[in-house]
Amino acid sequence: MAAAAAPGALGAVQAGRARWVAAGCMWLGPGLRLSGSWAGWRVCPAVWAQAWAPTAWGPAPRRGYSSEVKSEDELRVRHLEEENRGIVVLGINRAYGKNSFSKNLIKTLSKAVDSLKSDKKVRTIIIRSEVPGIFCAGADLKERAKMHSSEVGPFVSKIRAVINDIANLPVPTIAAIDGLAIGGGLELALACDIRVAASSAKMGLVETKLAIIPGGGGTQRLPRAIGMSLAKELIFSARVLDGQEAKAVGLVSHVPEQNQEGDAAYRKALDLAREFLPQGPVAMRVAKLAINQGMEVDLVTGLAIEEACYAQTIPTKDRLEGLLAFKEKRPPRYKGE
């Protein structure tokens, strides 16, 4: 299959849309050139180099971590080892602030995400809380109250930028919601590809209660997740949903019953991450890109994006390994090449 879409199909794409898609296709890989309307756009190789890093708590006692983490850290980055190698867990650990977004937490989260972008060992990222009963309570309102009004806008922009960076990570991301996720906490979860919430979890965009609106992408991602009318209803009412209610409206994919340890959502997220590990790394990256970019455009443009993404898998060693493994009736040994 060729990298370029059929000229007839591309002729139907509006110029503005083509520019947008070209910007999105920068993720596809070094040197990719699209023909037709997109011929002038050159792919940036930077994002193609993005990858991942492993980390997490397993359902069993903690073991096999590549590094120890200081207890005072507000964000714990755990690289899982052994059978979970390739899974990274970002654990928010700010109990005294209910895991709310402080300046320090946002700075730390931003640095962690930046490092994960270029780590080719990472296969899946799980975002969870290490504080029982809380996922993330949104912005730190105590800190916010001390800010001058001129500081608020730039700080919210930083939160939005970090959440956008998480949404743009090249590997699958899973939010494990084992407690309260309101405001920016739910916006953080919405930026993940998959959301798992324990039955006892509570979540909602409650900003209108404070005479503001969601500022971390909530007004855009919630409608895309559950539909515009229902998203408006939830934002206008500042309603908080439990796990089952969130599942009923399509906000989360899985709702395990909470366990004694309080980490049912995390355990389910880890199970999902393990399902992703055997698949081809390059294929996972371009599949995510094709889905994300394609959902924002019309079908004709989306199919052209899929074609360009598919073309990126053809010359890979992984694709040949997959065919050989199938022929030899053995598990493939993918290297992300």
- One of 187, 201, 217, 269 is an active-site residue; which one? 187
User: From its phi and psi, is residue 217 left (phi > 0), alpha (psi between -120 and 50) or beta?
Assistant: left
Is residue 142 a contact partner of residue 74, using CB atoms and an 8 Å limit?
no
- Burial of residue 152 (CB within 10 Å: 0-12, 13-18, 19+) is middle
Our answer to whether residue 275 is catalytic in this structure is no
Consecutive H or E run containing 47: helix 45-48
- One of 74, 130, 207, 306 is an active-site residue; which one? 207
Our answer to whether residue 36 is catalytic in this structure is no
CA angle 72, 117, 108 (to 5 degrees): 25
Give which of 255, 239, 248, 163 is closest to 201, Cα–Cα. Answer: 255
- One of 56, 139, 246, 273 is an active-site residue; which one? 139
Helices (H), 118-237: 141-145, 149-167, 184-190, 218-226, 228-237
- Burial of residue 265 (CB within 10 Å: 0-12, 13-18, 19+) is buried
The owner of tokens 């001129």 is: 150
Our answer to whether residue 308 is catalytic in this structure is no
Is residue 276 a contact partner of residue 284, using CB atoms and an 8 Å limit?
yes
Q: How far is CA 145 from the centre of its chain?
A: 30
- One of 184, 185, 204, 322 is an active-site residue; which one? 184
Q: Is residue 16 helix, strand or coil?
A: helix
Our answer to whether residue 187 is catalytic in this structure is yes
Give which of 202, 185, 176 is closest to 56, Cα–Cα. Answer: 176
Is residue 119 a contact partner of residue 108, using CB atoms and an 8 Å limit?
no
Active site residues: 139, 184, 187, 207
